[in-house]
Every structure is written in structure tokens, then in C-alpha cells.
Structure 1
Amino acid sequence: MKKAIFASMLAAAAIAAAPYSAAAQAAAQPAAGGQAAAGGQAAAGGQVQLSPPEFDAYNKVTTAADPAGKAAAAEAFLQQFPQSSVKSAVLQQLAVAYYSQQNWAKAADAADRLLQADPNSIQGLFIATSAAKTQGDQSSDAAARQSAYDKAAGYATRGLAATKPAAMDQGQWDTVTKQLAPIFYSAIGIDALGKKDYPAAISAYTSELKAVPEDQTKQPGPILQDTYYLGTAYYQSTPPDYLSCTFYATRAVTYAPDQFKAQFQPVATYCYKKYHGGDDGYDAVKTAAAASVSMPDTLKTSIKPAPTPADQATQVLASDKQDDPTLAKTNLADRMFVIQNGTADQAEQEFTPIKGKEARLSGVVVSIDGTDLKLAVTDDAKAANPKTADVEVTLKEAPKTTPAVDATVDVVGTFDSYTQQPLLVKMTGGEIQAKAPARTAPARRATPTRRR
């Protein structure tokens, strides 16, 4: 009696060329279970009885030597025997054949047809997830890309919740689901990242890293890329977790191929400086990131965070008082930093010595409307995009020639009042000066590093 195995995990097709090939190959191993037999009576031992023509057509599917031949044989079988008792098995092999050819549109269609016949098919959910995610990766249209990721995440969520078929051995089921879990988590992670749902992205990517042997997290490929994405998710969270961003981005840099290191390093460096305030001590992060897939608690205690703006304001005010107890000679940058970031009392201490005093300052025009001139004076205000006004000058009269936005002007005016948040120092009796006299800034001791 002729027999053909049809219950299998991804049908023993060669799919090593596709993403996550190791997982796909593991999923392709045959499972014990039902068989198809030719003949006119029900077969014993859990076999499915097929008529000779149906059996011959099915046998062409299972014995096809290459994916293209298997796909053609499967499509022919499904057209000839649309209600066959082995329909799910043939659809499974069809989906695998298209997956092997990286024909993602047809793989997605075949997987969807398989899931209509067997909604719990882990094979169908794996291929549907992979095909949709790859289509998203390859799309240049943002809306189409996110739509594909949404589909992939939906299939992936179902894949993680799938239950073992009765005919499958528990050990094989455990092996396959362990291999496929990282792929499902990866699809959920990229979908959440695109939606700016950073907690969900962090959860998915963290689960992905926990689901694989540590050696696999060091190899170039999707898992290492997702390690970098995990770092960016921490960076974009509210509030940002700069230390976690530093760790995972650094781990990605450590094991990435040379051509990708330059792309990953800026995020790691930026997050470290935002957390620590400088680049000293970064070697400790690199050592820890190379040694572990998860950030060790010791890193949280060994790498000290930079002082907060409030802490820095206290330090700046103390230094200013040491230079001049009256604060009359404090430079404008220090004064405005303390006004913005200090307590109400500290801000008042810095503003009182200049209130009602005339001064000359230089700034970039943010806007001008008649006698209302708004300037960006501090480095932070000038560097903002768009520039923000931190000084407002009420001019004595509207200028005959209105300065252009982004032009640098010198003004003379009298300090009148201020608000702390957002910072805005107000001056009255202002006049735009034709040209500032040349002058040399006095040397001054360094102030604490300020967070930008």
C-alpha cells in the first residue's frame, strides 16, 4: 500500500535562505501523525483514505524536488480537489514553497488560506507573520509599512497563543514553539515601535532576547538588530531611560558587522552623555554590554547620572556668589540658567541685582511685531528647532528698518521682569543698536556642565 506523510511542521522544505533560517529549519522537521493512503476503504492507524487520482496528485506535491515544482503541484492539487481531506497539509506545503522562494505576496496568500482551513496552524501563523513583516520591511510607504507590521503583529500574537495539535508529539511542539517565539516577539516589537508604543516594544524585544540562547544574540542578523531597536525604544520612552538605551545600543555596536557599527554608535554615545553628562566611564558600559545580554544592576550603581538642571542651578549660584557675593557681576548665561532651572528664591536672587538696570545684549531675532521684539539669547534658545525666544524687548518705537527673522541684533534695554517656565526675561525701553562695539570677554572659571 502506498503511503505519504502529510502531518508535518512546515513540511520538511528547505527554507534556510529566509530570515530566521535556523528557526524555520527546526519548524520544518516532520511530525509523527496522520498518513495518506491510496485505496477505496478507510485505512487503519489514523491514516486518511484517498482515491488513486487524488493520491497521485498529492504524491506529486510531497515528492517535488524544488519549491517551484512543489508550489505548482500544490496549486494544481487544490484546484482539482478543493474539498480534499488533506487540504490543510497541501496548503501548508504550498505556503512553505512560496516562503522558500521568498515570494512574500504568494506566501502570505497561501498562509492566509491555510489559516482559514486551520486557524490554529503554527505553520501558517509563522509564515503569515514572516511574510507580512518582510513586506513591511521592504515598503517605502510609511502607511503601507505600518499596515503590514500590524498584520504581522496580529499573526504573531496568535502564534504565541497557539495550542498543540493532538497528533503532534509534545517534545517536538516544545522545540518548534521555542524556535518560533523570537520571530513572533520581533514582529510585535517592530509594530509597537512604529506606533510609538514604547512600553510594548520594550516588552516584546526583551522577551525576544530571553527566548534565545545568548550566543545567538551576538550573531549578525535580526536578533542583534532588535537589540538596537530595544535601545532606541528606551531612548524614545517618556521619560527616556538613557542608561538602558546606552547598554542595548552598545551591545548592538559590540557585535555588529563593521559596516553597521558607525550607524549604531551615535545613539549609544548620545544616550550615555545624556545620562552621565560626559563620556568618561563609557568603557565600563562596553565591558558589561559585551558580557551580558541583560543590563546588570551593578551598572546602575557604578555609572553615576549627571546632575539635574536643578542641581546645576544650585552649583552655578554658589559659584557666582563665591566670585561676587552681590551677584552684580554674574554673566548673563549663568544668570538666565539659574532663573530658568533654580527655585523661585534662587531665580529672585539672580534677577534682583539687574532689575531696573540698563544693559546691552545680543540675540537672534525670533519675531518682531511693531515694538515687540523677541530674541533667542542663550545657546539653548538658539539651538532649539525652531529657535525659542528667551528675551522679550519692548522697544521705544518701531524700527524704521525691520530686522529679519534669524538676524543677529544688539539691543539696549532695561531689565523689568521674568517668568521661569518657559524662561522669558522682559526688558523695556529698548533700542536696536547699529553695531556692537568690539570687546573681549573676560576669562572666567568653568561652570558645571549643563544638560542640553
Structure 2
Amino acid sequence: MKKVVVASVLAVGACTAYYLPAALALDDAQNQGAQSGQITIKDPAEYNAYTNAVGQSSPAAKASAIEQFLQQYPNSQVKEEMLEQLMAAYEQAGQADKELDAANRLLQVNPNSIRALTIVVYMEKKQTSDQAKLDDAAAKAKTALNAPKPSNLSDADFQKLKTATTPIFEDAIAVDANGKKDYKGAIEAYTAELKAYDPAQTQSGPGLLATYNLGNAYVSQDPKDLVNGVWFLTRAAQYAPAGYKDQIEKAAEYWYKKYHCAQNDTACQTNLDGYAAIQQLAKANVFPPDSYKPVAAPPPPSPQDLAHQAIASTPDLKTLALGDKEFILANGTPDDAAKVWDVLKDVTAEVPGTVVTATADSVQLAVSDDAKASNKADFTINMKTPLKEVPQAGAQVKYTATFDSYTQNPLMIILKDGEPPAAPKKPTARRPVHHPSGRK
């Protein structure tokens, strides 16, 4: 009896971001040498149907003959083998849906079939908008990564199969984690995927895409890891096709500026000091070497530092805008806040803002831009006399009142003797001028 084991159900797909690698390609002699034993078909009719099916030269004819064989002998000893060959026939015929169906049928016979798992995982992974499919692909990928060696494969051939398929399985796990914003899980899986490739394989195709996705995962997590994010985005930019290179380079440079350049350092922002050396390193290495040590920008000044700088650089604190005075009251040291309060206390001023809450006796306003954005009051106007008309929340109003007190945390500036702005005076009617002649 001729014993056939399908060595490859994987083919390179053109013009796609993901593609299946060319896995083991064993001829019949190698197949037979890989067997751990022979299966004998005792029924002559079944044997003849088997040899007829596997002997077909046309993929379509072979698939049809195998389907007929499986229908006629659903419990055959060679069912698993025939399903493997059926997947290969549909692959060669370009019938992806039927190939997937054959893979799922094979998994019912052998849930650990790496070839069947590869087909299902690969096809489900492409459905990135269907999280349930991604979840299933990730679960099957984990099964495949832990699958035992089939008895009909030698250790060497099993290792070839694992080498060819491991990146597909790790990528499916990463894509699933990324879809759920599990960036830690995505980083682990993308890293494992890159480690499964030969370095040259990371310069194009799915290896390059995994490099780019790994960089994005590092800058998407909270807190961001800009050191690793910059590395993998820069690495991806070195080998990206012309249509994507500029976009990826700009992303890498953006995050490098965030990490390396002080906020107001325009020279660093323009010249990208030290970045050219990182580009050279990233082109030569998949993972960051020990020599990759980007220098972090000095920490930005704290709100308290900014408040003190405003005090120190302003000779006359009365000239500060109301928003700056409020910032110092909220963030300054007790001494700096006291200096600003000294120029506000008992001063009567006009305060515009957005009503947050209001009663006849007191109106709470959002005055600063931050307060308005969060709809949180930062001023309280206590009225001199009860309002005749209480404003609705969200109304834009203006009151004249006298600064009375404040609390720093949370900030609330309190004014007393509040009054609506005085109504504009009506213009005095002009008296007619009488001419001596009686003419007006």
C-alpha cells in the first residue's frame, strides 16, 4: 500500500500583509521515511478507493475523490491522513472556504493537528473586526504551540513545521490581545513572534509588520514605554516599503522627541540629536542591544515651579491676568499663593463665567478654561441681595463682586457682595433747539 502524508498545506499569499509561509515540502520517499509505522487497509474495495483518490493528479479531481472516499468510509483508519490531503488539494485548487472546512473536520478527528490549526488560525486571524473569531484563533494558536509531535513525523521534520508555523500562532495571540487593548499580552506575543523568525525575515512581510505592531503596542500601553516603542518603530521604518516608510519614520521621530527633547527645546525638536545613531543600530539589530541607551529629556517644570517662575518674573503682580493669578493660587507654595492673594483680597472686580449651580443667594461659576472643560466650579459668588432671576446651569453670566477668601485644594475662590452688572443707562433725549426766528 502506498502511504502518503501531506507535508505542507501552507502557501505564500501575494499582496497581503499576512501570508502563510512555505512549510515542509516532502516527496513521497521522504514521506515514507517519516512514518513511524504503516497502516494497512484490509478491505480491497476501500484500498482501491484510497489509491484512486490519492493518485489523482488534478487538485480538483483529487479533492472530489477524497470527499467521495470519506463519505463512503467515514470511519476509515486513514481518515486523518485523507483530511490532510484534502486540505492540500483545496489549497492547490484555491478554494479557501473548502480548505477551512476540511481543516475544521480534521480538528474533530485530531484536535492537535498543527497543519489544521494553522489553516484555521490563519483564516480567523484575518477577520480583525470579529473579536469572537480572534478569540477562537488565539485559543487554537495556544493549543498548537503546545501540541505534541505527531507520530508520523521525525524530530527534524516536526521542528521544521514548528519553525514555520510558530510565528503565525504568536501573531494570532498578539492580534487578539491588541484587539482587546491588552497591550502587555500583545507585547509578549509579538516579541515571541519576532524571536521565532530568522533576523532576515523581520525585514519584510509579516516579520516587518510584527516589528511595527510591537512598537505601536509599546506606545499604546499605559504607562507608555517610549524607549522600546521608539526602537521597534525605528527598526520598522528602516525596512518599510516606500509607501509606508515616511509615515512610520514620522511616528518614530514623534515619540523620540517626546522622550528625548525638552518641551521648549526647539533645537532638539528640529535636529533630533542622537536619532541618526539609533537608526543605524535599529537597522542592524532586531532587538535593542546594550548600547541602545537613549537619553531622556529633563523632567518638565512642575506646576509649583511654573507658579514660582510667574511670581519671580512679574514685578507688579497686579498686572497678571486673572487666569494666571488663579493658577498660582491653585499650585503655588503657601508663600507664592499669599503674595497673589494680597493683591486680590478686598478688590472688587467683574467676573465672567459659566454657571455650574445657582441659588438666589449664591452662584458657582466655571471661570478658567480647565474648569469650563470639566464643568467644575472654581469661583463662588455670594450675592449682596438675593437674585430676582436665578440663572440656569450652563448660562454665560458676569457678576461684579469683591474677593473674600479661597481654598487651595480643591481650588475655590470666594467673592462677596455679588451683583449683576448695572444695566446700561438710557441715553438722555436731546432737547430741541429753538432759533430766534422761530425756525427749529
TM-score tier after normalising by the smaller chain length: 0.7 to 0.9
Change (3 A) 1:110 1:346: farther
Change (3 A) 1:281 1:96: farther
Change (3 A) 1:274 1:60: farther
Matched, 1:240 2:220: no
Superposition CA RMSD, Å:
4.0
Corresponding residue for residue 116 of structure 2? 124
Aligned residue for 1:165, secondary structure, equals coil
Corresponding residue for residue 160 of structure 2? 175
Unaligned runs of 5+ in 1: 37-43, 140-144, 436-452
Does the 8 Å CA contact 2:203/2:239 hold for their aligned counterparts?
A: yes
Corresponding residue for residue 152 of structure 1? 137
How much does 1:93 deviate? 2.5
Corresponding residue for residue 26 of structure 1? 23
1:61-76 alignment runs, 5 A limit: 61-65=53-57, 67-76=59-68
Identity %: 34
Aligned residue for 1:428, secondary structure, equals strand
Matched, 1:257 2:241: yes
CA distance in 1 between counterparts of 2:313 and 2:36 reads: 95
CA distance in 1 between counterparts of 2:349 and 2:53 reads: 88
Matched, 1:10 2:42: no
Aligned partner of 1:3: which letter?
Answer: K
Q: For the pair shown, which has the larger CA radius of gyration, 1 or 2?
A: 2
How much does 1:300 deviate? 4.1
Corresponding residue for residue 195 of structure 2? 210
Aligned partner of 2:170: which letter?
Answer: Y
Unaligned runs of 5+ in 2: 264-268, 424-440
Aligned residue for 2:39, secondary structure, equals strand
Q: Which moved more, 1:315-324 or 1:169-178?
A: 315-324
CA distance in 2 between counterparts of 1:395 and 1:103 reads: 77
Change (3 A) 1:21 1:146: closer
CA distance in 2 between counterparts of 1:317 and 1:298 reads: 39
Corresponding residue for residue 148 of structure 2? 163
CA distance in 1 between counterparts of 2:25 and 2:158 reads: 12
CA distance in 1 between counterparts of 2:89 and 2:339 reads: 76
CA distance in 1 between counterparts of 2:334 and 2:85 reads: 72
Corresponding residue for residue 197 of structure 1? 182
1:212-361 alignment runs, 5 A limit: 212-219=197-204, 221-261=205-245, 264=248, 267-268=251-252, 271-275=255-259, 276-278=261-263, 279-280=269-270, 282=272, 284-285=274-275, 287-289=277-279, 290-291=282-283, 292-296=285-289, 298-302=291-295, 304-305=296-297, 307-308=299-300, 311-324=301-314, 327-337=317-327, 353-360=343-350
Q: Deviations over 1:22-46 (max 9, x none)?
A: 753124546945599xxxxxxx983
Change (3 A) 1:323 1:63: same
Corresponding residue for residue 85 of structure 1? 77
How much does 1:214 deviate? 2.5
Does the 8 Å CA contact 1:410/1:433 hold for their aligned counterparts?
A: yes
Matched, 1:375 2:366: yes
CA distance in 1 between counterparts of 2:19 and 2:421 reads: 71
Corresponding residue for residue 394 of structure 1? 381
Change (3 A) 1:183 1:313: same
How many residues are treated as equivalent by the alignment? 406
Corresponding residue for residue 417 of structure 1? 406
- Taking structure 2 as the reference length, the TM-score comes to 0.75
Change (3 A) 1:45 1:170: closer
Aligned partner of 1:232: which letter?
Answer: N
Does the 8 Å CA contact 1:4/1:62 hold for their aligned counterparts?
A: no
How much does 1:185 deviate? 1.1
How much does 1:349 deviate? 6.2
Does the 8 Å CA contact 1:250/1:285 hold for their aligned counterparts?
A: no
How much does 1:427 deviate? 3.9
Corresponding residue for residue 442 of structure 1? none
Aligned partner of 1:155: which letter?
Answer: K
Aligned partner of 2:4: which letter?
Answer: I
CA distance in 2 between counterparts of 1:79 and 1:261 reads: 52
Aligned partner of 1:375: which letter?
Answer: A
Does the 8 Å CA contact 2:170/2:193 hold for their aligned counterparts?
A: yes
How much does 1:14 deviate? 4.7
CA distance in 2 between counterparts of 1:432 and 1:30 reads: 94
Aligned residue for 1:26, secondary structure, equals coil
Aligned partner of 1:172: which letter?
Answer: D
Aligned partner of 1:251: which letter?
Answer: R
Aligned residue for 2:218, secondary structure, equals helix
Q: Deviations over 1:402-427 (max 9, x none)?
A: 5894x876665555324446xx4434
Q: Deviations over 1:313-350 (max 9, x none)?
A: 34423422332478554445555555556667766666
Aligned residue for 2:175, secondary structure, equals helix
Aligned residue for 2:188, secondary structure, equals helix
CA distance in 2 between counterparts of 1:428 and 1:101 reads: 82
Aligned partner of 1:193: which letter?
Answer: N
Q: Which moved more, 1:340-349 or 1:249-258?
A: 340-349
How much does 1:188 deviate? 0.6
CA distance in 2 between counterparts of 1:97 and 1:337 reads: 72
